[in-house]
Amino acid sequence: MNTKHKEKNEQVQYSALAGVSRREFLKTTMKAGVFIASSDYLLNSSENLVQLVAMKQGKEEFLFAYISDSHLLARGKEHRFARALIKAVEDVNAMEPQPDFVFYGGDLAQLGLREELLLGKDIIAPLKPKVYMMVGEHDWYYDMGEAWKEFFGKPTYSFDHKGVHFIVLNSVIVEDYWSETKMSPMERMLFMAQLDNPKGRPFTVGEEQRKWLKEDLSRVGKGTPIVVFSHSPLYKYYKPWNFWTDDAEEVQKLLAPFKSVTVIHGHTHQVLTNKIKNIVFHGILSTAWPWPYAPEGIPKLTIQMDRADPFNQFDGTGWGMAGITSRGKVNKTYNLWDRNPMVVSYEKLLSGKEHVAGHSY
Amino acid sequence: MKLLYKYFLCFCLCLTMITYSAKAEDGSAYDASHDVQLSQEKAVQIVTACDGRKKVIVEGCNEGDVMPEQKARKVAELLMQLMEFCEEEITAKLPKTEMFIQLSINGMPYVTVRDAEEIPLILVHGGKSHTEREKKVWAAEMDRMINEGYALFHNPSLGKNGISCDMCHPDASNTHPETYPKYQTQMNKAVLLRDMINWCIENPMEGEKLAEDDSKMKAVEAYILSARAGKKLDPGKH
């Protein structure tokens, strides 16, 4: 399947380049030191290629891949969710050239059990590039992150890569709902695992992490491109399903002085695009299942993916890529399995033009 | 026993009619001003049953007139029937033509019935408005069914692989119960909501399908239908 999928992508990407063979194209781009981060440019016309080369004036361009929301159950590698994550790992490993790193967007486990996290760790171990992990609420609320931290390290950290400052947050902190009601660890987990729980508590980044973020950002130049990873969207989309971060405005305020900020978040299992002031927000796909769009609050910039075919496990799910441009902007690709890839490029987002979507849209 | 009761009622009724006739002969006015007004408009005679709660307004007869025997029997039968049905106050209008009867329960608007056999139809719930207790019992019974469905929907017990319905359908979204029956192309046949519920149980949830009259199936349907009631339709997205 991987090969088939890759071929299909290549067909889409290269068919638009009239008169330029794939070999010539790669030669030209590599010579110019440019890695084409997004198929959007290619889908459009060959003029973009020239444009892109001309834009080469800032930092080195690069690409990273993401996999997210696998919701593994401790039921072995034959379970449908495990098979989906394996498929994503194989797809990423088949990328040529390889991405600089792979980002995992949280909810590796479904019920936060050690067995689930270990299964996930085992499945993603063959990934060839370096992996950066982020925590989701499904990883956290059984033992309050103990096993996750043991296997993957700190949930909050930052790193620099080719001139871009990356920040990974734990945005799934909620106020204590379990002590007073004396919930068992599994009761606490199940309470949190239910998306449409009417008693659910809103996610936050929390004061402690905001303080950490402020300090972390104080060491970063205002012109440095910033990419923030959070599990929940760092804005307010739909509270009843916790597509929501309660202290989003305070986090956005900390990011306000920076010229280029992109937030990439998990949790929503859907194509999702938003822009608030200087910050562009991108959702990422789940490997396990797509969430329906919420009945209200969908950001205007979002071009919704069609409702997934329930008869096809791999429709509406997948993984993706983010290309960082020379100016530190993000061109975002959703690699929907069994559909054409969907690209949300920064330029198109700014110009207000509709981004190029695959034939399924 | 019932027959005995009927005779007793009939006796009461006759007694009332006799008493009433006597009153009319005395020339004393009927005490209800409403009825006086009616009698002023056209010829009517009002007959009240012994319970004081059932009345028949006989049109085409003046107060004090002696009714033809056949009509008197009809009025007596009607009053008896009404007394058997319920304890409420009922006023019946018997027009001269006797083609239909009009009934009013507890001062509610008149409802027309063709004959006395249809009376039970308008006396559903015994002609009483529902009591708070009844409403609570009914709501609790309905909620019990919906809540059972909610629990099944939010629990992996219907399947065998740890997956539950709510994982793809929070708040029963994307279930679109209002679109069934429909031809489900993937199944190559026209299906009902329950067929799709069973499809989900057997496939993504890897469980065993429910019988169509299984109380669990009914409960899941009840939850989905109640959760989606009144939601905006989005044609083209189903």
Q: What are phi and psi of B195, to 5 degrees?
A: -65, -40
* Gyration radius of chain B over CA positions: 29
> Looking at residues B13-22, what average pLDDT do you find?
47
Of the listed ranges A78-82, A147-151, A186-190, A293-297, the one predicted with least confidence: A293-297
Which amino acid would we find at residue B20? Y
User: How far does B171 lie from chain A, in Å, by closest CA?
Assistant: 6
- Please list, in sequence order, all residues whose beta carbon lies within 8 angstroms of the beta carbon of residue A181, skipping any fewer than 6 positions away: none
pLDDT band of residue B21 (cuts 50, 70, 90) is: very low
**Partners of A104 in the β-ladder:** A67, A133
List Cβ neighbours of A215 (8 Å cut-off, separation of 6 or more): none
- Arithmetic mean of pLDDT, A271-279: 94
Report the residue from B161, B186, B203 with minimal CB separation from A75.
B161
Shortest distance between the Cα of B204 and any Cα of chain A, in A, equals 8
**Which residues in A lie closer than 8 A to residue B237 (C-beta atoms)?**
307
Percent of chain B with pLDDT over 90: 48
Is B10's pLDDT higher than 70?
A: no
- Please choose, from the candidates A360, A331, A332, A257, the residue with its C-alpha nearest in 3D space to the C-alpha of residue A52: A331
How many CB atoms are closer than 10 A to CB A163? Answer: 15
pLDDT for res B126:
56
Peptide bond into B181 cis (omega under 30): yes
Spell out the residues 6+ positions from residue B38 whose beta carbon is closer than 8 angstroms to its own. B44, B46, B57
Are B171 and A311 within 8 A, CB to CB? no
- Whether A194 sits inside 8 A of B173 (CB atoms) is no
DSSP percent split of chain A into helix, strand, coil, nearest 5: 30, 20, 50
Q: Please identify which residue in the block is written with the tokens 């938003």.
A: A274
Quick one: closest CA in B to A78, which residue?
Answer: B161
- CB-based contact, A311 to chain B, within 8 Å: yes
Domain boundaries, chain B: 2-127, 132-228
Looking at residue A57, the DSSP 8-state letter turns out to be T
Confidence grade of residue A34 (pLDDT, cut at 50, 70, 90): very low
Which one of B174, B199, B200 has the shortest CB-CB distance to A292?
B174
The C-alpha of B192 sits at a distance from chain A's nearest C-alpha, in angstroms, of 16
Residues 6+ apart with CB under 8 A from A76: A82, A119
Assess whether the previous peptide bond of A97 is cis (omega < 30° from 0): yes
Longest Cα–Cα distance in chain A: 69
Cβ atoms of A102 and A127 closer than 8 Å:
yes
Question: A31-35, A129-133, A310-314 — which is least confidently predicted?
Answer: A31-35
Domains of chain A in start order, with CATH, are 59-351 (3.60.21.10)
Residue of B101 and A267 predicted with greater confidence? A267
**Is a pLDDT exceeding 90 seen at residue B12?**
no
CB < 8 Å to B169, chain A: 292
Cα R_g (chain A), whole angstroms: 20
Q: Quick one: which of A72, A70, A130, A73 has its CA closest to A105?
A: A70
Place of tokens 């001309």: A54
> In sequence order, what are the residues at sequence separation of 6 or more whose Cβ sits closer than 8 angstroms to the Cβ of residue A74?
A113, A115, A116, A119
Q: Is A305 in CB contact (< 8 Å) with chain B?
A: no
What number is the ipTM of this complex? 0.82
pLDDT value at position A307?
83
- Chain B: nearest CA to A316, how far in angstroms? 11
Q: Superfamily for B132-228?
A: Cytochrome c-like domain (1.10.760.10)
